[in-house]
Amino acid sequence: MYIILLGAPGAGKGTQAAYVAQELNLIHIATGDLFRQAVEQGTELGMEAKSYMEKGILGPDEITIRMVLERISAPDGESGVIFDGFPRNLKQAEALDEALAQQDKAIDKVVYIKVSEEELLKRLSGRWICRNCQAPYNAINSPPKVWGKCDRCGGELYQRPDDTPPVIKQRLQVYFHETAPLIDFYTQAGKLLEVSGEGSIDEMGKRIITALGEGN
């Protein structure tokens, strides 16, 4: 099964992708996490990625597409994948379709998580992330049991440098301009499932699993 989670920054893609991956035994591929790992490791890609992430703009398509295609061609990618933060524009979507078609595979469903702009801003400004396993928390909605420490692995929690008001604004603009057109693209392909992203994290998770079950 190949699933895409589509939605604005802060819609809950990372939170739900981790849950759905566990429930359906899929590999979770998050391009934002791959870029942040490269930044942490101080690689050449990481130094480049840092500059566009800090500005809230997208990285080059060629690099992003190559990174994802390498990851899905690994043996564990055979059992199915949930994509989080990829594709981000038409070029990436078409490259993914083409690469999967070469292996006689295709995207099964695209879950579009719809959240109001007001709620997105609240979620992003309260977000804390584990430096070690990338689990997301929220100061208001889903705080960790011990402040500053990840419930899952005990790692240190930090705030993303792109979760500041001006960069959030830029990321939302990029989303509406470059990524939102994919809603039409996947609707026309008959693959889009729209799910409300309002409500608790648990409710949302159940809604997505139900929608995927009904969509088959």
Per-residue burial over 83-103, b = 16 or more CB atoms within 10 Å of its CB, e = otherwise: bbbbbbbeebbebbbeebeee
Q: Is 144 near ligand AP5 (CB under 6 A)?
A: no
Q: Is 127 a catalytic residue?
A: yes
State which of residues 204, 207, 208, 212 lies at the interface with ligand AP5 (CB under 6 A).
204
Q: Is 171 a catalytic residue?
A: yes
- Amino acid found at 61: D
Q: How far apart are CA 85 and CA 163, in angstroms?
A: 16
State which of residues 88, 109, 191, 207 lies at the interface with ligand AP5 (CB under 6 A).
88
Q: Is 134 near ligand AP5 (CB under 6 A)?
A: no
Site for ligand AP5 in 156-185 (CB under 6 A): 171
Q: How far apart are CA 205 and CA 127, in angstroms?
A: 18
Q: Is 66 a catalytic residue?
A: no
Active-site option among 123, 171, 191, 207: 171
Based on CB atoms, which residue is closest to ligand AP5, 115 or 216?
115
Q: Which residues pair with 4 in a beta bridge?
A: 83, 110
Minimum distance of ligand AP5 from residue 186's CB (angstroms): 15
Minimum distance of ligand AP5 from residue 208's CB (angstroms): 11
Site for ligand AP5 in 42-61 (CB under 6 A): 52-53, 56-59
| Residues at the site binding ligand AP5, with contacts judged by CB under 6 A | 7, 9-15, 31-32, 35, 52-53, 56-59, 64, 85-86, 88, 92, 123, 126-127, 136-138, 141-142, 171, 199-201, 204
